[in-house]
Amino acid sequence: MRIPSNRDFTRITPSAFSYHRFKSYVSDCRAVLLPSFGGPHLLELRSNVQVPQLKPHEVLVHTRAVSVNPLDTRMRAGYGRSIFERLLPLILGRDISGEVAAVGASVTSVSVGEQVFGALHPTAVRGTYTDYAILSEDEVTPKPDSLTHVEASAIPFAALTAWRGLKCTARISEGQRILVVGGGGAVGLAAIQLAVAAGCSVVTTCGSQSVERLLAAGAEQAVDYVAEDVELAVKGKFDAVLDTIGVSETERIGINFLKRGGHYMTLQGEAASLADRYGLAIGLPAATALLLNKQLLYRCTRGIEYSWTYMRADSDGLNEIRKLCEAGKMKIPVHTTFPITQVKEAHEAKDKKLIPGKIVLEFD
């Protein structure tokens, strides 16, 4: 990485930057590049990777920690290739926690030197596995002092996914009953904490190793989906079902547990996988047709709203998530950290399911 000098200030386009809020500027830095799709061995930590100039609404974040999401390992293996192949090499990574190094001219909510955390949109090409990541202003928020960078980096992508489903789609409210199918992962845990904080009662299904953790997070019942028959163990109907597993069996069970007017939301939407299989021109219309068919079917036969939930940047959601973190009501445990120099090992550990919880990559 090249250390900024005074001369660098002359490189900045005046229209793009507000000089008085500008502390440092880097033109290149280290980044983990993915030159082609495949295994963890393809990930390359390179120096001298160019840092693009900031647009007025963007924030340059000096990275301290990034978490490894399933989307990172799936993208590395080729998920989304119909969109991303022509954009290779990619920089993976959605979550981030770090320090603001520079801000674009119209940024008002964070300032240089501030500790922030946040997450990029799922389709971002320049991800966060880099010393200096670029996010738009609505994708970052001040980091709670109570969280380390490692802890903070584990939260935003998962919590915003849960937020999107529960708050934006189902619009959950106090007193409702929520079922989280497959609550043992980061999104499931975030969903349980969001719903509990909203005054809902939550039932979840999970592996045996996750039962105690999810009860401690506020679920009133956590059903081990290997040892127990979920359909017998869970009683009553629900206002919303968030399905993190999203196979036909969990969809059937989730739909059957809903009240009329309830929402079924799966995290396994098929838009990207159909586009990968058939190409964008056929795959995307096919995905839309599939989604509309299911929506119509469940609305007409059951009075149920069916949707595919995708993570989306949401500044209001991120601010609410920050407040929950500050209040100690939102936490995603980090199982293992790796230095960014061991990104291949981290991805390999995830691929081989050697580590059951969150992995975070630390930057020096």
Q: Of 179, 186, 258, 313, which one interacts with ligand NAP (CB under 6 A)?
A: 186
Host H or E run for residue 62: strand 58-68
Give the tokens for residue 145: 């002092």
Pick from 47, 31, 156: which is nearest to 91 by CA? Answer: 31
Chain residue whose CB lies nearest ligand NAP:
184
Give the tokens for residue 263: 């929402």
Q: Of 80, 188, 262, 283, which one interacts with ligand NAP (CB under 6 A)?
A: 188
Q: Which lies closer to ligand NAP via its Cβ, residue 97 or residue 115? A: 97
Q: Of 78, 89, 207, 218, which one interacts with ligand NAP (CB under 6 A)?
A: 207
**Terminal Cα-to-Cα distance of the chain (whole angstroms):** 12
Q: Which lies closer to ligand NAP via its Cβ, residue 135 or residue 159? A: 159
Cβ proximity of 113 and 132 under 8 Å: no
Give the interface segment with ligand NAP, choosing from 29-37, 56-64, 193-201, 207-215 (CB under 6 A).
207-215
206 sits near ligand NAP (criterion: CB under 6 A): yes
Q: Which lies closer to ligand NAP via its Cβ, residue 206 or residue 240? A: 206
Q: Which lies closer to ligand NAP via its Cβ, residue 128 or residue 210? A: 210
Q: How far is CA 311 from CA 70, 145, 160, 225, 354, in A?
A: 13, 25, 6, 25, 26
- What is the x/- site pattern for ligand NAP, positions 1-40, by CB under 6 A? ----------------------------------------
| Minimum separation from the CB atom of position 94 to ligand NAP (A) | 9
| Minimum separation from the CB atom of position 108 to ligand NAP (A) | 28
| Minimum separation from the CB atom of position 265 to ligand NAP (A) | 9
Give the interface segment with ligand NAP, choosing from 33-41, 179-187, 322-330, 341-349 (CB under 6 A).
179-187
Give the interface segment with ligand NAP, choosing from 6-14, 234-242, 282-290, 307-315 (CB under 6 A).
307-315
Q: Of 8, 284, 357, 362, which one interacts with ligand NAP (CB under 6 A)?
A: 357
209 sits near ligand NAP (criterion: CB under 6 A): yes
Give the tokens for residue 325: 């973190």
Q: HEC string of 160-219?
A: HHHHHHHHHHCCCCCCCEEEEECCCCHHHHHHHHHHHHCCCEEEEEECHHHHHHHHHCCC
Give the tokens for residue 56: 């007025």
Q: Of 158, 159, 217, 242, which one interacts with ligand NAP (CB under 6 A)?
A: 158
Alpha carbons 284 and 42: distance in angstroms, whole number: 28
Buried b (16+ CB within 10 A) or exposed e, 180-216: bbbbbbbbbbbbbbbbbbbebbbbbbbbeebbebbee
Residue 279 Ramachandran class (φ > 0 left, ψ -120 to 50 alpha, else beta): left
Give the tokens for residue 354: 């050697």
Q: Which lies closer to ligand NAP via its Cβ, residue 26 or residue 187? A: 187
* Site residues (CB under 6 A) for ligand NAP, limited to 52-111: 69-71
| Minimum separation from the CB atom of position 109 to ligand NAP (A) | 24
Give the tokens for residue 44: 């390359």
218 sits near ligand NAP (criterion: CB under 6 A): no
| Environment class of 139 (CB within 10 Å of its CB; exposed 0-12, middle 13-18, buried 19+) | buried
Alpha helices in the chain (DSSP H): 70-77, 81-84, 149-153, 156-163, 186-197, 211-216, 230-233, 248-256, 271-278, 280-302, 315-326, 343-351
* Site residues (CB under 6 A) for ligand NAP, limited to 264-303: 267, 269
Q: Of 40, 118, 156, 185, which one interacts with ligand NAP (CB under 6 A)?
A: 185
Q: Return residues touching ligand NAP (CB under 6 A).
A: 69-71, 122, 158, 161, 182, 184-188, 206-207, 209-210, 244, 267, 269, 309-311, 335, 356-357
